[in-house]
Amino acid sequence: MKILYFYQNFSTPKGSWGTRVYEFASNWVKQGHEVTVVTSILSKSDLTATKLIEDQYFDGIHVKVLNIVTDNKHSFYKRIWTFLLYSILSSYYALTIKADVVIASSGPITVGIPGLIARYIRGRKLIFETRDLWPEGAIELGIIKNRLIKNISYWFEKQCYKASSYIVTLSPGMTKNIFQRFEFENIVDVTNAANIPLFSTPRPFTTTHPLLKPKQYAIYTGNIGMVNNSYWLYEAAKALHKMGRQDIVILLIGEGQQREELEQKAFSEGITNFIRLGLMPKENLVTYVQHALVSLVPLKGTPILDTSSPNKFFESLAAGVPVVQNTQGWMKDFLEEHHAGYTLDPNDPDQLAQTLIELSDNLASTIAMGERAQIIAKALFDKDYLADKMLRTLQVVHEMSAEVSPQSVTSELHQNSTVKL
């Protein structure tokens, strides 16, 4: 098959961003398929470009890099501009690149524009990959307030789904949400994956930071900002400090809108057990994750985020580290079912501090929990297993005729799936 993948934030393991598209595409290339990814430059990825448009290759993946830089630190309007500019430029490739199947991977939702052009003007079969529920999330978080913009956004979201031969979501929660709102049958979840060999192969603990010791820190990796409930982490570190448990460190590895203000607060208030390290490639990140007491997956307490599917969740389990998170959706159910971590109140940092104390003081049971987590991660979240699951979807869509019903496709995909969440 010739697969055309529109995804704005492509990165390889040398970057500091999720590698789902790289992992899946490289797997498909090894199986003899041709994959072209049209992307831009995320500040956290490893991509660079000197021309407006460059052709680059990574492990057989043809990557068309549009020299448009996106960054979470950009203003709202600048981000919207970069999203629209990417969609306008990439639409040219929706018209000109030969493809059997086109994937439009959102967010941002504007990636649906080249997807719709490929579908309706070139007659390509479209897969719409939903990474987050937009505009639901933006509305719940108060980012979109204008009624007209809300209505247009909901309309555009529905058009993207209607145009698609199949919808792929990144979590069971997203699948349930879309089905309840639109009753589309042509939908399946293919969660984020983990590079099992990378994250589960033991590595020695190496760091130059004097306050970091194995199994004496809780790790958070990713964006430092409001949506990620970063103040919850800081207040928990502060609570630990007041309890005289500065031996338990909360480590953040990443960048974001609230990074500077939190670092300044920690410095001015003398909270020495709140530490941040800068962005680093996944190859370097692995050591820090493997030797953590637990991995923290915080999000703002809003219902739409209960459907989230963050990379750190899967990679932490693969590294053999329990997860402490604070959503009320599928991740909570998963951790409870497999005894692989805890779900806490997103508004109670004292509860987080107390949980970390209990985990630290009962280290043997914490390590055993991490071992269980790694076993289930190897079964459910291996990148190659999930790449094959999505490839089956692409193959069925490629081969299906107009007379084939979405229900029969869904049935076939589920029958061929060896593991279900």
pLDDT at 413: 53
pLDDT band at residue 73 using 50, 70 and 90 as cut-offs: confident
For residue 264, pLDDT over 70 is answered with yes
Cα separation, 104 vs 29, whole angstroms: 18
Place of tokens 């590595």: 203
Q: Which pLDDT does position 418 carry in this prediction?
A: 39
Instruction: Inform me whether the pLDDT recorded for 409 exceeds 60.
Output: no
Residue of 279, 323, 281 whose CA lies nearest to 298: 323
66: CATH: 3.40.50.2000
pLDDT of res. 401: 56
Whether residues 48 and 73 share a domain: the answer is yes
Shared domain for 162 and 215, answered yes or no, is no
Using CA atoms, how far residue 209 sits from 126, 145, 241, 398, in Å, is 48, 44, 19, 52
Alpha carbon 237 to its chain centroid, in Å, reads 25
Q: Give me the percent of the chain exceeding a pLDDT of 90.
A: 78
Mean pLDDT over 199-214 rounds to 94
Domain that holds residue 55: 2-193+382-415
Tens-digit pLDDT profile for residues 16-36: 888 999 999 999 999 999 999
Residue-level pLDDT at 420: 41
Question: Hey, what are 176's tokens?
Answer: 């349930």
Rounded to an integer, the average pLDDT of 213-224 is 96
Q: pLDDT value at position 157? A: 93
Do 337 and 188 fall into the same domain? no
- Residue 16: burial class (beta carbons within 10 Å; 0-12, 13-18, 19+): buried
Q: Kindly state whether residues 300 and 238 are assigned to the same domain.
A: yes
Q: Are residues 210 and 122 in the same domain?
A: no
Q: What is the chain's alpha carbon radius of gyration, rounded to the nearest angstrom?
A: 21
Alpha-carbon gap, residue 387 to 22, rounded angstroms: 10
User: Are 331 and 348 found together in one domain?
Assistant: yes
Q: Is residue 365 part of a domain?
A: yes
416 pLDDT tier (thresholds 50, 70, 90): very low
- Look up residue 219 and give its DSSP letter: E
pTM over 0.95: no
Are residues 267 and 338 located together in one domain of the fold?
Answer: yes
Verify that 202 and 145 share a domain, yes or no: no
Residue 421 belongs to some domain of the structure: no
Q: Are residues 92 and 221 in the same domain?
A: no
* Phi, psi (deg, nearest 5) at residue 53: -135, 130
Give yes or no: residues 364 and 282 share one domain.
yes
Which residue(s) pair with 56 in the sheet? 63
Residues 371 and 263 in one domain: yes
Beta bridge partners of 219: 251, 295
Region 224-231: what's the mean pLDDT? Answer: 94
| Residues 100, 178: Cα–Cα separation, whole Å | 26
Average pLDDT of the residues in 97-101: 96
Cα separation, 180 vs 246, in Å, equals 46
Q: Are residues 156 and 249 in the same domain?
A: no
Average pLDDT of span 391-414: 67
Give the pLDDT band of residue 314 (cuts 50, 70, 90).
very high
Q: Could you give the 3-state DSSP secondary structure of residue 392?
A: helix
Determine, yes or no, domain membership for 420.
no
Residue 235 half-sphere exposure, CB side, CA atoms within 13 Å?
12
Q: Domain for residue 73, yes or no?
A: yes
Taking the alpha carbons at both ends of the chain, their separation in whole angstroms is: 28
Average pLDDT over residues 303-325: 94
Secondary structure E strands in 164-210: 166-169, 187-189
Mean of the per-residue pLDDT values of the chain: 92
H/E run at residue 139: helix 136-140
Higher-pLDDT residue of 419 and 295 is: 295
In a domain, 116, yes or no: yes
Instruction: Return the percentage of the chain with pLDDT > 70, whole number.
Output: 95
User: Residue 421 pLDDT > 50, yes or no?
Assistant: no
Residue 421: closest CA among 330, 327, 346, 291: 330
Name the domain count of the chain. Answer: 2
